[in-house]
Structures are given as structure tokens and as C-alpha cells.
Chain A
């Protein structure tokens, strides 16, 4: 079983190549290139499969990191994606912008023992980006829509996550946002060189395709009071 894993003793740490400084100063695109499949498998095989995985303990979402690393090392990328997205509504976003050095990677046991952390963030990004490419990321299909409805104010990460989770349960969801695009700080706060905007836009499109209604340029307090929204059915 351990054949595929625990390779940190032989394989050194590698992140996907960073773009050359001169080159990246000229545009607003992300600065890290993507892993290729073989590199991803190789790097995830460095995971030591700890019995008490401190990476998972220190992840706010308790992402099942050792398991999806193992699946990736074994080339079972679809299962890795399914597992990763089961605890996280936008893994490819977290893979890009989480401060991993303070969360999962900072607490990685092989990091603590001086071998250099498993590059968890880049793996997370790779797994879900690959899933998008392969068409594994599908909009929510509601079989029986419930007659109860939920209004969500604000299309930031918290609002979008809540909307998606409730939609999966069949509720009718309307998301109100005061800006002309959904995403909150993801779209208008975080610069492109950390998070390119197509990443956010394809997420919101996915939610729309899943039957979530978005009302843009809608300011609660101006266009309707909180009280009026609460009285809606």
C-alpha cells in the first residue's frame, strides 16, 4: 500500500514553475504555471499519509488532503476531484489564494521534519482545474424543487457557498448583490495575478446553470429594505 506514497525521502519538493519576473511584471496574469500530470502524481506521492493529518486539522474546511493526494498519486484524478469538492465549494480558488504556509502546508509533518512541505495548494488547484478541463464539474441538478425559498445578500464566497449548498437541497435561491458581477472580493478585490477572473466567472456561471437566480446592481436598503425581502415568499 505504501508503495506509491511516502516518496518524500527520494523526491524533492517542487512547485509548478513560477513565471520569470520580467515577464510577469508586464501583465496581470497569474504567476504560477500549471503542473503536468506526471509532476502532479510525483509530487502528491511525497505525502507521508499521517495517521493524524495536521494539514487537515489546520484546514478551516477540514479538507481530506491525504486522501486526495493519494488518489492523485495513483492517477485516480476524478475520484480526487470528487473528494476535494465534497468539502469545498471552490477548491481551485483556495488552491490559488489560501495562505497555505500558515494552514495546511505550514503544518505538514514532512515540512516540520525538514523535507519541505507537500505542495498541497498547487495540487488542489491542479485537481480541480483538471476536472474543469475534463468536464467533470457539473451544475447542480435539482430533481424535486422545494416550495421554500432563500434570499442571499452578497455574492461573495460565503454567500455563494451557502447558496450552492442550499440549492443542492432543492431550495429556490435568489442571490442579491450590489455590484454588476458576482464574486465579491474574489472578483473586485483580489488582483488577477493571484486569481484570474475566468476562474470566478465560470463558478458563478455554474451556479446560474444550476438554477440559482442572481439579481445584480441590487442594494438592500435602497432597492428594497431587509424587511421587504424577509416578507417575500
Chain B
């Protein structure tokens, strides 16, 4: 994620120290991206544009079982990204910095709850991939809002997302509503817009009710 933010900030004309120092710049490097979602596709395609020497994408399932958009995978393939299907990183090798990645081959077992086939490691199948930089694109965890906002009383679910009333999108704090990834977990922009719009409707009702109560008392 820092990798994509750095690249976007550069694109917007900002100074990014970690990029200028080369830490978050893929130029001239052998890049390995781990993960098969839309963020992984963004990372590989950004690396291509930063003039990486080679770009590989490691994913533990095969093409049919990828979670991301097929269109994005096709675009990445066109741009010269090499996909290493059915592979899972085991450990990093190198002195001071990563030089090689030890990878296990995977075979697919029975489908899991999501309908995708469960990856299992093939014993003794490990091989090495050269890597100057490894980018993990393995999903997002919700931030710890009660801690960050200094609001311990804000209730969250067992996944760490903010707990809201399904009908009103109100949290357990009166007059505080929540929408988007922090309620839903990482999802699509279109869902964020939908949630934002729904929350707005509920908030309007809430604000109008406050008004009504006040005018009745007066």
C-alpha cells in the first residue's frame, strides 16, 4: 500500500523521500508481488511503469480461482507481467536485504466456504526466485478506531470493523454513523458510495427528529 501511495504522490508532483531514496521505487529491480487481488494487479502494473527489470506475481491458487477482476489480470499479462500460479512464499533469503525468495509449489484441494479450492503445499517442491524487492498485497485489516479516535466506548465487531445498526447505520454512539470499508471490510468503491448515500438518508432522518423533538418541547 505504501508502494502505491508513494507512486501516486510522485504522480501528483509531491516529494516522497522513500521513493527518491529508491526504497519504494521499482526501477531496474526484479520485483515479486505476492497476492492475487486487485491491489496486487495495481502493484505489478505500477512496477512495470516504474521500469522494473522483471515483474512476477505469486499467487497460491490458479487463474480460475483468482479473487480479482479478470480484465485487470489480462491487462497485466499484456504488459509483460509473469504470473507464477500455484506458489506460496516460504522464506526470504539474503544478507542485509532480500535477494531470493524460497517458494513452495501448491496443489489445490477441496473447495472451502467461499467456493474456491483450498491451497495445500506440495512437499519437497520448493524453488528459488530472484527478487530485489518483494511487495505484499495480501488484503487490508481495519484500523483500530476505538484506539485511534480515543473513543474506547465505540463498539467494533470481532473483525475489528465498526459495529453499526443494519437499518440506520448508526454506531452504538448516539448520532455517530459509519459507512464504507470501516464497516464492510475492504470492498469496492461502488459499495462505499452506496453506503455513504444510505448513511446520509439515515442521518437526515436523525437530524429531522432532533428538530421535531425540540420544537415540541418549546
**A137 interface residue per 8 A CB criterion:** no
B53 adjacent to chain A (CB < 8 Å): no
Contact A165 B196 (CB under 8 A): yes
**Interface extent on B, as a size class?**
35 or more
In the bound complex, residues from chain A placing their C-beta under 8 Å from that of B199 are 158, 162
Chain A residue with Cβ nearest B43: A191
Contact with B along A155-169 (1 / 0, CB 8 A): 011111111111001
Q: Is B188 an interface residue (CB 8 A)?
A: yes
Chain B residues closer than 8 Å to A165, beta-carbon distance: 196-197, 200-201
Partner-contacting stretch, out of A5-13, A37-45, A71-79, A96-104? A96-104
Other A-B pairs, 12, CB within 8 Å; known A26-B49, A28-B11, A169-B200: A25-B80, A154-B180, A158-B195, A161-B193, A161-B197, A165-B201, A186-B189, A187-B8, A188-B8, A189-B8, A197-B11, A225-B149
Given contacts A101-B70, A101-B71, A189-B1, contact A157 B196 (CB under 8 A): yes
Q: Are B70 and A157 in contact (CB under 8 A)?
A: no
A28-B78 Cα distance, complex, nearest whole Å: 15
Taken together as a complex, chains A and B put the C-alpha atoms of A100 and B197 apart, in Å, by 21
Q: Is the CB of A226 within 8 A of B70?
A: no
Cα distance, A98 to B189, chains bound together (Å): 7
In the complex, A25 Cα to B51 Cα: how many Å? 8
Interface residues on A, range: 35 or more
Say whether A31 faces chain B, with CB atoms less than 8 Å apart.
yes
- Chain A residues with Cβ below 8 Å from B149 are 220-221, 225-226
Which B21-80 residues sit within 8 Å CB-CB of chain A? 38-39, 42, 45-46, 48-49, 68-71, 75, 78-80
B192 touches A191 (CB 8 A): no
Smallest Cβ-Cβ distance to A89: which chain B residue: B193
Chain B's interface: helix, strand, loop or mixed, by majority?
helix
6 sampled A-B residue pairs with Cβ under 8 A: A59-B190, A61-B194, A146-B207, A159-B180, A161-B197, A221-B150
Q: How far, in whole Å, are A99 and B193 apart by their CA atoms in the complex?
A: 15
Residue of A nearest to B69 (CB): A99
Compute how far the CA of A169 lies from the CA of B211 in the bound complex, rounded to whole angstroms: 14
In the bound assembly, the distance between CA atoms of A124 and B78 in angstroms comes to 25
**A60 on the B face (CB < 8 A):** yes
Instruction: Give Cα distance in the complex from A193 to B80, angstroms.
Output: 15
The contact of A188 among B4, B148, B173, by CB within 8 Å, is B4
User: Interface code B187-218, partner A: CB below 8 Å = 1, 0 otherwise?
Assistant: 01111111111011101100100110000000
Which residues on the A side are within 8 Å of B5 (C-beta)? 188-189
A206 at the interface (CB under 8 A from B): no
In A159-202, the 8 Å CB interface with B consists of: 159-166, 169, 171, 181, 185-194, 197
Closest partner residue, chain B, to A168 (CB atom): B200
CB contact under 8 A between A159 and B196, given known A24-B79, A190-B42:
yes
Which residues from B are CB-within-8-Å of A47? none
Instruction: Select which of B45, B148, B195, B201 is within 8 A of A191 by beta carbon.
Output: B45
